[in-house]
């Protein structure tokens, strides 16, 4: 009998060791449904980070990634009240907020119960916490997934919008300084004249324009940047003129850009297939190394960059250029008092309303918030960013370091499926910038920003390329960040009160802009005038709303 009791006791002890930490606390194991408003890859079943999440929190994830049109997909979910537990609405998060899909996180996040989360949002809480228009209560539906960095801003590279060009084009041209739109297209045109195909005989594409779904910003947004401003979405804000805000797409200075694209299209630098091209097709083209230039944001084509690096095609990876108009060529159409100066990079931009919200259908919001709170601790942030110590990185004399093989693994998409928790971590609250406290103070949260990795692990091609320009990092190709305006970036403002005007505004652009680029040059002026006449009513309504909203946001933040 005593022997039987001993065996039973041993089995009980063994069972307790196998029970996840959260279950031992009295919480049942659960599976959270998760929607990501971007395409993505399912993690491998043996993913070690998700295994650790399951061990500590008793939580598994069931991921659904975007397939198709984002707004249409979100509309169907709102119509059917088909809300996952964790809901990332991507660049259309305002739709799920206005559709009543998300809970108010301030019911769970406060300085006492969640000190990590509160300290994380506190520096930007004037912008993150909003007022509900109907009730007047404070609301926070989403904790920004990026942009709440600690310490001085790190700008080793441009992670946002720019005109991109392959490194081999700049190298072929003798490493020139390219500052204007004309210089950019002139160099690409000359390169293709001398090198019409790659080594395999595949013709080069001079300039791609992605227009699928919300990524239409690749077609629409360049004008504001050519005018010298950072990313304000679909409006131009004059910070030196009482924050006057106007739509730019219907202005004379926008005509200059699309007329230039019309010229390049008829020279054959822009493919006729560019407008019906899907995002996946776009990434495939970039990954093949045949696309010489495009306007985009660095994070949007990261998979293509990884593919090129995996293939050792470093000369086909891209440099971000902060192109502006030659002011002398647009002087007669500039707003009064406007001076064009290159300011592509903003200082410290929190990604307002981007990332995970918790849906009203979720039965355990407290548990998710509790998990996020714990995950902001150093050990979990190191696990998400750096991996497992001794396996994926080491600590030497207080510095986080990787071997060449370890760093190469982090860039390999197949390795990531087994060893990174990208699908969850990318949309969750996270620490960025410098580690500010403890034994690891002075290191960077993100391995790609760590000097020992950024410079020590840089491939020889990139080292020689930067040396040819006399630069230390690829962020040197653009001007340093400017101070973030009090309103943040205007694309972050909720425009659902004028949603129909905005929808009309977008639809007219997507109807006319491709036609303007492809039309007979002799017909361009007449078609432009027709476009402006057609879009002006919706542009005026949307622009006037944004003008008031930007000024209201400035007043709120500045008090």
> Mapping DSSP to helix (H, G, I), strand (E, B) and coil, where does residue 187 land?
helix
Half-sphere exposure of 439 (CA within 13 A, CB side): 7
Answer yes or no: are the C-beta atoms of 288 and 267 closer than 8 Å.
no
Contacts 24+ apart (CB under 8 A), 187-192: 188/269, 188/292, 188/293, 189/264, 189/267, 189/269, 191/292, 192/269, 192/292
Mean pLDDT for 226-236 is 96
Q: Is 220 helix (H, G, I), strand (E, B) or coil?
A: helix
Which residues share a beta bridge with 401?
Answer: 394
CATH code of the domain occupying 161-344+459-558: 3.40.190.10
pLDDT bin (cut points 50, 70, 90) of residue 15 is very low
The closest alpha carbon to 349, from 144, 557, 139, 131, belongs to 144
Give residue-wise pLDDT tens across range 68-91: 899 999 999 999 999 999 999 998
The string of pLDDT tens digits covering residues 297-354 is: 999 999 999 899 989 999 999 999 999 999 998 999 999 899 999 999 988 889 999 9
Report the relative pairing of strands 356-358 and 86-88 from DSSP bridges. antiparallel
Give the rounded percent of residues in the chain with a pLDDT score beyond 70: 95
Q: Tell me, what's the pLDDT at 347?
A: 85
Q: 461, exposed or middle or buried, with CB in 10 Å at 0-12, 13-18, 19+?
A: middle
How many whole angstroms from its chain centre is CA 325? 25
pLDDT higher than threshold 90 for residue 535: yes
Separation of CA 264 from chain center: 28
Give the gyration radius of the chain's Cα atoms: 25
Query: Across residues 514-543, what is the average pLDDT?
Result: 98
Query: Which residues of the chain does CATH 3.40.190.10 include?
Result: 19-152+352-386+422-435, 161-344+459-558
Is 19-152+352-386+422-435 CATH 1.10.10.10? no
Q: pTM for the full model?
A: 0.84
Asked whether the beta carbons of 184 and 295 are under 8 A apart, the reply is no
Burial classification of residue 536, based on how many CB atoms lie within 10 Å of its CB (0-12 exposed, 13-18 middle, 19 or more buried): middle
Specify the residue for token string 């805000």. 245
């Amino acid at each position: 009998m005593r022997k039987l009791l001993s065996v039973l006791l041993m089995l009980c002890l063994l069972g307790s060791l196998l029970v996840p930490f959260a279950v031992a606390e009295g919480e049942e194991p659960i599976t959270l449904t998760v929607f990501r408003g971007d395409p993505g890859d399912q993690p491998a079943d043996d993913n070690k980070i998700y295994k650790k999440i399951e061990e500590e929190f008793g939580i598994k994830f069931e991921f659904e990634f975007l397939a198709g049109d984002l707004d249409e997909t979100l509309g169907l979910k709102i119509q059917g009240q088909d809300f996952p537990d964790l809901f990332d609405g991507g660049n259309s998060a305002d739709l799920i907020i206005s559709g009543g899909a998300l809970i108010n996180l301030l019911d769970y996040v406060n300085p006492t119960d969640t000190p990590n989360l509160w300290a994380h949002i506190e520096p930007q809480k004037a912008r993150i916490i909003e007022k509900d228009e109907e009730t007047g209560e404070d609301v926070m539906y989403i904790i920004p997934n990026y942009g709440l960095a600690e310490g001085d801003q790190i700008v080793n590279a441009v992670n946002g919008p720019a005109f991109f060009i392959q490194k081999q084009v700049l190298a072929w041209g003798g490493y020139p300084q390219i500052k204007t739109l004309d210089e950019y297209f002139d160099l690409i045109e000359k390169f293709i004249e001398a090198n019409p195909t790659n080594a395999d005989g595949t013709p080069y594409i001079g300039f791609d324009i992605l227009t699928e779904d919300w990524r239409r910003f690749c077609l629409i947004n360049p004008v504001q940047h050519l005018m010298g401003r950072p990313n304000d979405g679909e409006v131009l804000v004059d910070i030196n003129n009482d924050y006057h805000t106007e739509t730019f797409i219907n202005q004379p200075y926008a005509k200059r850009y699309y007329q230039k694209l019309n010229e390049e299209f008829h020279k054959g630098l822009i493919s006729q297939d560019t407008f019906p091209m899907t995002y996946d097709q776009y990434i495939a083209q970039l990954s093949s190394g045949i696309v010489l230039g495009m306007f985009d944001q660095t994070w949007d084509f990261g998979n293509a960059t990884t593919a090129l690096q995996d293939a050792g095609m470093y000369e086909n990876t891209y440099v971000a250029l902060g192109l502006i108009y030659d002011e002398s060529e647009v002087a007669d159409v500039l707003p009064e008092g406007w001076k064009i100066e290159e300011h592509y990079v903003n200082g410290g931009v929190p990604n307002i309303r981007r990332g995970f919200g918790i849906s009203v259908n979720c039965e355990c919001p407290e548990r998710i918030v509790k998990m996020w709170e714990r995950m902001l601790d150093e050990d979990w942030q190191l696990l998400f960013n750096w991996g497992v110590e001794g396996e994926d990185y080491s600590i030497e004399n207080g510095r986080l370091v990787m071997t060449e093989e370890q760093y190469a693994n982090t860039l390999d998409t197949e390795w990531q499926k087994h060893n990174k928790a990208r699908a969850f971590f990318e949309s969750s609250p996270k620490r960025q910038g410098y580690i500010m406290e403890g034994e690891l103070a002075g290191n960077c949260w993100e391995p790609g920003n760590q000097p020992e990795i950024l410079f020590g692990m840089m491939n020889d091609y990139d080292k020689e390329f930067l040396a040819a320009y006399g630069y230390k990092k690829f962020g040197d190709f653009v001007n340093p960040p400017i101070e973030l305006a009090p309103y943040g970036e205007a694309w972050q403002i909720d425009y659902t009160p004028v949603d129909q005007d905005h929808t009309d505004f977008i639809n007219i652009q997507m109807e006319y802009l491709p036609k303007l680029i492809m039309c007979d040059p002799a017909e361009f002026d007449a078609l432009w005038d027709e476009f402006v006449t057609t879009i002006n009513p919706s542009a005026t309504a949307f622009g006037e709303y944004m003008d008031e909203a930007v000024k209201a946001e400035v007043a709120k933040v500045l008090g």
